[in-house]
Structure 1
């Protein structure tokens, strides 16, 4: 990913029309499509100010060093214009969800997730084989209903978490406080742990597992700040 050098001297927090704007040398941050980075949550805006402030002077940086900014930009420019489209995109992941493919008996965390889903009227079809499962109409309706309850910040976090975990159901359980982040990462990393037991140390597997932990941590940090006013 291309890098740029820090070009600003100061990072401050401005406010306009009830929204909080991280500003570089008194100017608002513009997102890739031209929208201003402005947020309803002061704590989230302050965290983004801190994120930009941590970039050392005259040193190169990449968007990977600005995860809260990146997720906020996705929320503002891609999700906010059409929440329905964002929900439909997530739903498509849920139709072939990684959590529905069981290679062995599920652990206690997965059992808790399925118990919670059942209370929400969502009962996924599961398989221990390789062929894709076909979900029922009731499953789809229940998942649509659950996604409708997610606001734009939750949808932004879910977008990151679903890609990271390979499972919308696992991501929804985390965002809904059914499980903790460590539990979600443990479930998502189960296959890699098994491979490590069989084949021994593998740097690429460690990289994948570490990336999952970092990506999910960034998404949940964004969500936690966004829920504060």
Structure 2
């Protein structure tokens, strides 16, 4: 984008409302994406969050400290042009959803999976109109075509900005249902993140916490929380 530079060159950051949405301006010059497209944002809240990221830059610009800007760039430069492909890829998670593949032993883990994951499947059946069925073991067993079609249609209905966030909600959690649950605010993003890590938490209880693995998990948790925040801005 025109604003990506090694050093900060602007003094003032502002948000401007336009006929097509909201733009972020640096000293009156509108920010563009890396592909030179206008960084046109759908809501004022998203524009304000991105403006705050640009305003927080000091002498050197750090793109890694600008997650909302990067997500908006992805929505405009990538998802907008590949919407059907991205939606189809995410919808495929429904046929192998994390929540549907259950351990057959030990019984304590089986019961915990049912206790923690069944409510999410019940919520999806009631709210989304799609009932996915749990399976024992790791071998793939297809879900009902009608349920998958309902979920796929809901994914396709998302805007590019929503889909950019939803991509991370689903990809990081490994679950289409948990992605929807986070997007719809079924529970807090932290609670849903913990549901996605049920098996890992079980292993940690048995064998203890690996510091390196815990650090990697925390990075993913922060990315998941950001994706939920960005979806809400959309």
Q: Shared topology, TM-score over 0.5?
A: yes
Query: In the TM superposition, what is the alpha-carbon distance from 1:150 to its structure 2 partner?
Result: 2.9
- TM-score relative to the length of structure 1: 0.86
Closer/same/farther in 2, CA of residues 9 and 107 from structure 1, 3 Å limit: farther
Unaligned runs of 5+ residues in structure 1 are none
Name 1:216's counterpart in structure 2: 224
Partner of 1:117: 124
Q: Offset of 1:145 from its aligned partner?
A: 2.8
> Which residue number corresponds to residue 139 of structure 1?
147
**Correspondence list, 1:1-229, <5 A:** 4-56=6-58, 58-61=59-62, 63-103=63-103, 104-105=110-111, 106=113, 108-119=115-126, 120-226=128-234
Can you list the C-alpha shifts for 1:174-202, whole angstroms capped at 9, x where unaligned? Answer: 11222221221111122222222223231
Cα contact 2:166–2:231 (8 A) shared by 1: no
Q: Measure how far apart 1:107 and its partner are.
A: 5.0
Q: Secondary structure at 1:39's aligned position in 2?
A: coil
Count of residues paired in the alignment: 222
Deviations 1:68-96 (A, max 9, x none): 11111122222233533332121122222
Provide the rounded CA distance (Å) in 2 between the counterparts of 1:124 and 1:50: 41
Partners in 2 of 1:180 and 1:7 — Cα distance?
39
Contact 1:158–1:168 (CA<8 Å) still a contact in 2?
no
State TM-score, norm by structure 2.
0.84
**Larger fraction in helix:** 2
User: Structure 1 stretches (4+) deviating beyond 6 angstroms?
Assistant: none
Cα deviation digits, residues 142-168 of structure 1 (max 9, x gap): 222332443333222111111111111
Structure 2 residue matching 1:95: 3-state secondary structure: helix
Provide Cα deviations, 1:122-157, integer angstroms capped at 9, x if missing partner.
Answer: 222322312122222122212223324433332221
Task: Give the alignment's Cα RMSD to 1 decimal.
Answer: 2.1
Q: Which structure has the higher relative contact order (CA within 8 Å, separation 6+)? A: 1
- SS of aligned partner of 2:132: coil
The answer for unaligned runs of 5 or more in structure 2 is: 104-109
Partner Cα separation in structure 2 for residue 36 and residue 6 of structure 1: 20
